[in-house]
């Protein structure tokens, strides 16, 4: 019985892609996992896979940008799985466009999910972490935080998450809570497939083009991010906090 086996993790945006891979990895590491996304039914295949492997999981439908929905979701998770002491803020959307074409609604939607969502989830979960004297928060940023054409909203949100991460690390460290961020590069997901479709390039060609620019000569997989999350939330990573690691197949600066 590992120490993780008595701990509960929340992963947002976990119905597919990076979030699903993270949820399954944390379950494999011994955590009970709340699989959170807009639609609880969309989370059920991930929950079923975790339970089939002998783990514990719960499908939770919640809009992370809705304050009341977040509070209710975290309370339910605490009641049904146990007090959450690990939070992975992965939920995200894209509304890409050049600045002069970007609507205020596109800007607000991205900010609400990425930044407001991470704020609300972290605020709700930290109560349980500080009471336990132990916690881990991992925020999903992006290499787009360094700037990316057509993503003024997404880039600003992901850069904001890095500042958010460093501030929470300062505030929560004395309670035994570490806060770190992962900035993925090109990861093969439905979101990157949607980007390829938006620019009118077949996804396989899009991936090949991206891989040619990456030092390790391949695009990333959701499991690459899940492995890094696994390290950040481990007991042995307790002296690592306020950091942003670029999981991008090469250096980013």
Q: CB–CB of 150/195 below 8 Å?
A: no
- Does some domain include residue 253? no
Q: Please indicate, yes or no, whether residues 201 and 128 belong to a single structural domain of this protein.
A: no
What is the span of the domain harbouring residue 191?
187-219
Q: Domain holding 144: CATH number?
A: 3.40.50.720
**In the predicted model, what is the mean pLDDT of the chain?**
96
State the average pLDDT over residues 141-147: 97
User: Which residues are within 8 A (CB) of 253 and not within 5 positions of it... i.e. 6 or more apart?
Assistant: 146
Taking the model in full, what pTM does it have? 0.96
> Is residue 246 annotated as part of the catalytic site, yes or no?
no
Q: Please indicate, yes or no, whether residues 66 and 30 belong to a single structural domain of this protein.
A: yes
State the average pLDDT over residues 227-233: 98
Q: Please indicate, yes or no, whether residues 33 and 140 belong to a single structural domain of this protein.
A: yes
Q: What is the pLDDT of residue 222?
A: 98
- Does some domain include residue 42? yes
Q: pLDDT band at 2, cuts 50/70/90?
A: low
Q: Please indicate, yes or no, whether residues 76 and 132 belong to a single structural domain of this protein.
A: yes
Percentage of the chain modeled with pLDDT above 70: 98
Q: Please indicate, yes or no, whether residues 147 and 181 belong to a single structural domain of this protein.
A: yes
- Does some domain include residue 235? yes
**Tens of pLDDT, residues 147-200:** 999 999 999 999 999 999 999 999 999 999 999 999 999 999 988 998 898 889
- Rounded Cα distance between 89 and 78, Å, is 17
Q: What is the pLDDT of residue 199?
A: 85
Domains of the chain: total: 2
- Does some domain include residue 3? no
**Tens of pLDDT, residues 46-103:** 999 999 999 999 999 999 999 999 999 999 999 999 999 999 999 999 999 999 999 9
Closest among 12, 227, 29, 203 to 121, alpha carbons compared? 12
User: Among residues 31, 107, 154, 232, which one is catalytic?
Assistant: 154
Q: Please indicate, yes or no, whether residues 109 and 134 belong to a single structural domain of this protein.
A: yes
State the average pLDDT over residues 123-136: 98
Q: Please indicate, yes or no, whether residues 226 and 201 belong to a single structural domain of this protein.
A: no
């Amino acid at each position: 019985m590992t120490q993780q086996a008595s701990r509960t993790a929340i992963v947002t945006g976990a119905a597919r892609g990076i979030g699903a891979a993270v949820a399954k990895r944390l379950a494999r590491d011994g955590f009970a996992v709340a699989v959170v996304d807009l639609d609880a039914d969309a989370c059920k295949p991930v929950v079923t896979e975790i339970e089939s492997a002998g783990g514990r999981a719960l499908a939770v439908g919640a809009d992370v940008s809705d304050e009341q929905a977040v509070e209710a979701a975290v309370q339910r998770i605490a009641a049904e799985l146990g007090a959450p002491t690990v939070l992975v803020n992965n939920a995200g959307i894209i509304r890409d466009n050049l600045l002069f074409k970007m609507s205020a609604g596109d800007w607000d939607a991205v900010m609400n999910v990425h930044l407001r969502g991470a704020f609300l989830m972290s605020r709700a979960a930290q109560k349980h972490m500080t009471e336990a004297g132990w916690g881990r928060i991992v925020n999903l940023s992006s290499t787009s935080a360094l700037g990316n054409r057509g993503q003024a909203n997404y880039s600003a949100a992901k850069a904001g998450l890095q500042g958010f991460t460093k501030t929470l690390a300062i505030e929560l460290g004395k309670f035994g809570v570490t806060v770190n961020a992962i900035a993925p590069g090109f990861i093969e997901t439905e979101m990157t497939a949607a980007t390829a479709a938006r620019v009118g390039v077949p996804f396989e060609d899009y991936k090949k083009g991206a891989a040619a620019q990456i030092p390790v000569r391949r695009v990333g997989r959701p499991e690459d991010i899940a492995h890094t999350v696994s390290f950040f939330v481990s007991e042995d990573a307790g002296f690592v906090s306020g950091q942003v690691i670029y999981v991008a197949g090469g250096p980013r600066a």
